[in-house]
Structure 1
Amino acid sequence: MRHATTDGGFAERRKAAAEAKQQLLRKFEAAPKLDDPEMLARREERLAISVAREARSAERKRLKQGEHDRRLAEAAALAEAANAEAKAMAEARQAKMNGHIARVLADDAERKAERDRRYAARKARQR
């Protein structure tokens, strides 16, 4: 034997489902259409916002690239200055070393000349 409440419960559920479908249909029909002026205005507004956002993004990228290029140029200038300084220091060391070598050679030549002079004087005295 069937209970009356179960049949009534099923019927109520079917009725509630049908009403829900009808509400969805009414809501969809009441929604603005794509060619509605309000919808077109909203779409254009969103498009304008998107274009402005892209423009700001492009400007930020351009500024970042400019800063990056400036830093690269600055680093290259610093590296060039450091290389020039290192080259100047190396040349100064080389010049100092060359001067020292020249003095040592001159001193050696002077000593040799003095030794040769003493030798020549000693030989002259012996004759």
Structure 2
Amino acid sequence: MKNSNGDRFDGRLKTASQAKQKQLERFTVAANDPEKLAKRAERDAVGAAREAQRKAKAAKLMREKKDLERQQAEAAEHEAAQTKAREAELDAEGVEAAEREIAQEAADQAARKAERDRRYAARRNRKR
């Protein structure tokens, strides 16, 4: 297309400015089109719904994570209580076993002393 203003610099600037202005007018008319505005509103609504779903899912996952952590903490506490109970039971059994062992040792010593005393008395009676 040939410039009607010739090759003058100011003519070229004016033509370029007018072309830009026409292009801007076309875009503003297209942007204000009710059909396009309705589509844009629909896309925004869909996007907002998706964002709400994402947030709800994230909140649900956080609740589940907190519940799981709470359950694990309760399980750990329960296990610790059971471990303490088992240790106490084993300590009690150990004490009982030690007491039985001491009693058995005392009974064995008493039996050895009685046997020794019997032998001593038998020797004493033989000499007479």
**TM-score, structure 1 as length reference:** 0.65
Corresponding residue for 1:29? Answer: 25
Corresponding residue for 1:60? Answer: 57
How far apart, CA to CA, are the structure 2 residues paired with 1:14 and 1:46? 45
| Unmatched tracts of structure 1, length 5 or more | 1-7
Could you tell me how far 1:68 is from its partner in structure 2?
Answer: 0.6
C-alpha contact (below 8 Å) 1:32/1:39 kept by paired residues: no
| Unmatched tracts of structure 2, length 5 or more | 1-5
How far apart, CA to CA, are the structure 1 residues paired with 2:16 and 2:43? 32
How far apart, CA to CA, are the structure 2 residues paired with 1:73 and 1:32? 59
How far apart, CA to CA, are the structure 2 residues paired with 1:16 and 1:71? 72
Percent identity over paired residues:
27
Q: 2:81 aligns with which of 71, 84, 88?
A: 84
Corresponding residue for 1:99? Answer: 96
* Mapping for residues 37-48 of structure 1, pairs under 5 Å: 37-48=34-45
**TM-score, structure 2 as length reference:** 0.64
CA deviation string 1:48-74 (max 9, x = no partner): 023112212212212311331232133
Aligned length: 116
Q: 2:67 aligns with which of 61, 70, 82?
A: 70
How far apart, CA to CA, are the structure 1 residues paired with 2:65 and 2:115? 74
CA deviation string 1:47-100 (max 9, x = no partner): 202311221221221231133123213322431342133223312320221112
C-alpha root-mean-square deviation of aligned residues, in Å?
3.3
